[in-house]
């Protein structure tokens, strides 16, 4: 299932509640995921990942102010 996300920028959420964002899934197999950011490359065990999130669209910021 993660194979479909290969090459995309993702956020990885871990079992301990932490997360990493702004990196790309470069390679993966049944045990590890290679995750690279501008500053580092990490090899993350699949068993430590809770979820993987892909941003598909920019969020629109709510308008602030008075009137129409």
Give the global pTM: 0.77
Exposed, middle or buried: residue 62 (CB in 10 Å: 0-12, 13-18, 19+)? exposed
* Whole-number pLDDT of residue 52: 92
Exposed, middle or buried: residue 12 (CB in 10 Å: 0-12, 13-18, 19+)? buried
In 3D, which of 40, 52, 42, 38 has the Cα closest to residue 6? 52
Instruction: List the chain pLDDT tens, one digit each, 68 residues.
Output: 778 889 999 999 999 999 999 999 999 999 999 999 999 999 999 999 999 998 887 777 777 776 65
* Kind plus residue range of the DSSP H or E element containing 19: strand 19-28
Exposed, middle or buried: residue 10 (CB in 10 Å: 0-12, 13-18, 19+)? buried
């Amino acid at each position: 299932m993660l194979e479909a996300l290969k090459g995309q920028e993702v956020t990885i959420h871990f079992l301990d509640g932490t997360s990493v964002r702004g990196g790309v899934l470069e390679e993966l197999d049944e045990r590890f995921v290679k995750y690279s950011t501008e500053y580092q490359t990490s090899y993350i065990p699949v068993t430590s990942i809770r979820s993987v999130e892909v941003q598909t669209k920019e969020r629109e910021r709510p308008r602030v102010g008075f009137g129409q």
